[in-house]
């Protein structure tokens, strides 16, 4: 919490009157002590015997004083800069559905485990969070636009199935399209990954067309001057408090946009990308094109994506690992720092102190 400021500082003058209370309390104690001189000697002996515990009688008045101070500060409506979960939070899950997700090194297979973990993640988010889904393989596709409807996203997750190649970079671009549907994405400086060129999805040919014009719109290619979509000036990486991408991949990008360059596109918009490398250390064999292929996790690239965007990299080697990763990736990482009134906190503190003071006073008598 930063330095407090007050929305109604004119009420702070009452604190001057509050400062008089300790002085009045001391005067009352002295008057009581003078009156005690007129009582019998037996009463004086009893009072002296209890003197060692006399400090306890000052506790309720002290608590009452603190309660009044909290009340008066509350009247001035204090506020502070707090980092809180954003009410405008948007989380886009980008899930690898390449052929390697059929590997059974994680029982029953990777795609089944990934879909189950994604469902648990979606249902565990606050209702105010908008969740979208992107699937990427030979191409990247927005399977579900960011929405508060959990049923729509869960249905899209159920329909995921493994295809062929891995296009993690195109997955990031598609996720950015989902987050910023009205913007033009500048692809003029992006290169394409090598391999077979791989649509709403993003294929290599469409991306190539977008590079020639310099922009890519949600529903088509721009004309190079920004018409048809808004443009955005670059911001510091990780500075967007309201949107993140969670990207899960188990392989190495071989088609589509270069993932590190796509990460820089996300970084220019302040969007953090949290990456999850999925698969065991030894990998798994997959029947591919009539032969067998061993999967290979590209952890270095996933780490680079997270570092460029201000996100974080996780490695999940089992169903339990993946479940734990998704449980840690709650909307707590979608937070914003804003000026927030904390009057309610002071009112609660004042009520607790007042109840405690009254309770101690009643217990004494």
Nearest to 262 by CA among 90, 130, 101, 94: 94
Going residue by residue through the chain, which has 365 residues, state the pLDDT in tens, using 9 for 90 and above: 457 788 888 888 888 888 888 888 777 777 766 655 555 555 554 555 555 456 677 788 888 889 889 888 888 888 887 766 666 689 999 999 998 888 888 889 899 999 999 999 999 888 888 999 999 998 899 999 999 999 999 999 999 998 888 899 999 999 999 999 988 776 666 666 654 443 444 544 444 444 434 444 443 333 333 344 566 788 999 888 889 999 999 888 888 899 999 999 999 999 999 999 998 766 666 665 555 566 678 899 999 999 999 999 999 998 999 988 888 886 556 556 667 888 888 899 989 998 998 888 787 76
Q: Are residues 24 and 126 located together in one domain of the fold?
A: no
| Domain identity same for 60 and 100 | no
Number of domains forming the structure of the chain:
2
142 plus 192 within the same structural domain: yes
Give Cα 225 to chain centroid, integer Å. 35
List helix spans (H) across the chain: 14-18, 20-36, 41-49, 59-75, 110-123, 150-158, 168-179, 204-213, 259-268, 299-309, 319-328, 343-364
Q: Which residue has the tokens 């399209």?
A: 177
Specify the pLDDT at position 271: 94
- Judge if 31 and 9 occupy the same domain: yes
Phi, psi of 334 (to 5 degrees): -105, 85
Same domain, 283 and 166: yes
Distance CA 264, CA 188 (A): 13
pLDDT at 179: 94
Do 64 and 98 share a structural domain? no
Shared-domain flag, residues 121 and 69 = no
Q: For residue 165, give both structure tokens.
A: 């190649």
Using CA atoms, how far apart are residues 112 and 307, in angstroms rounded to an integer?
Answer: 29
- On whether both 109 and 51 belong to a single domain, the answer is no
Question: CA torsion angle for 110, 112, 118, 123 (degrees, to 10)?
Answer: -160
Give the pair of three-digit tokens for residue 8: 């109604």
Helix axes 59-75, 343-364, angle to 10 degrees: 160
> In this structure, what token pair is assigned to residue 33?
């002590």
349 in the same domain as 221: no
Q: What is the pLDDT of residue 224?
A: 36
How far is 109 from 361, CA to CA, in rounded Å? 66
> How many other C-beta atoms can be found within 10 angstroms of the C-beta atom of residue 64?
19
Same domain, 117 and 60: no
Q: How many CA atoms lie within 13 A of 24 on its CB side?
A: 8
Domain of residue 75: give its range. 5-82+341-364
The DSSP bridge pattern shows strands 291-294 and 285-288 to be: antiparallel
Regarding whether 94 and 192 lie in a shared domain, the answer is yes
Specify whether 54 is located in the same domain as 201.
no
According to DSSP, residue 52 is labeled: G
> Rg (Cα) of the chain, in Å, rounded?
31
Distance of CA 345 to the CA centre of its chain: 23
């Amino acid at each position: 919490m930063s330095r407090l400021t007050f929305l109604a500082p004119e009420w702070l003058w009452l604190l001057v009157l509050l400062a008089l209370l300790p002085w009045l309390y001391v005067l009352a104690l002295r008057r009581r002590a003078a009156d005690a001189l007129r009582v019998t000697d037996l009463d004086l002996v009893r009072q002296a015997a209890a003197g060692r515990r006399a400090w306890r009688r000052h506790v309720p008045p002290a608590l009452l004083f603190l309660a009044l101070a909290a009340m008066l500060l509350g009247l001035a409506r204090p506020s502070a800069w707090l980092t809180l979960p954003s009410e405008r939070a948007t989380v886009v899950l980008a899930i690898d559905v390449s052929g390697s997700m059929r590997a059974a090194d994680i029982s029953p297979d990777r795609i089944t485990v990934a879909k189950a973990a994604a469902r648990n993640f979606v249902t565990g988010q606050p209702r105010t969070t908008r969740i979208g889904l992107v699937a990427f393989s030979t191409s990247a596709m927005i399977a579900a636009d960011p929405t508060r409807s959990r049923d729509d996203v869960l249905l899209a997750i159920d329909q995921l199935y493994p295809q062929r190649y891995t296009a993690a970079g195109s997955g990031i671009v598609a996720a950015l399209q989902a987050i910023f549907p009205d913007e033009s994405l500048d692809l003029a400086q992006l290169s394409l990954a090598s391999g077979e060129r791989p649509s709403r999805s993003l294929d290599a040919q469409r991306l190539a067309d977008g590079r020639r014009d310099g922009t890519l719109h949600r529903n088509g290619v721009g004309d190079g001057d920004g018409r048809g979509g808004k443009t955005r000036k670059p911001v510091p990486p990780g500075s967007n408090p309201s949107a993140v991408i969670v990207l899960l991949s188990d392989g190495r990008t071989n088609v589509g946009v270069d993932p590190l360059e796509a990460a820089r596109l996300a970084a220019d918009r302040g969007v953090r990308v949290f990456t999850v490398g999925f698969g065991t250390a030894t990998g798994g064999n997959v029947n591919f094109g009539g032969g067998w292929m061993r999967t290979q996790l590209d952890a270095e690239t996933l780490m680079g994506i997270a570092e460029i965007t201000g996100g974080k990299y996780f490695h999940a080697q089992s169903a339990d690992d993946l479940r734990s990763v998704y449980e840690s990736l709650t909307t707590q990482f979608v937070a914003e720092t804003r000026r927030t009134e904390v009057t309610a906190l002071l009112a609660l503190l004042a009520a607790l102190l007042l109840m405690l003071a009254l309770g101690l006073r009643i217990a004494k008598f």
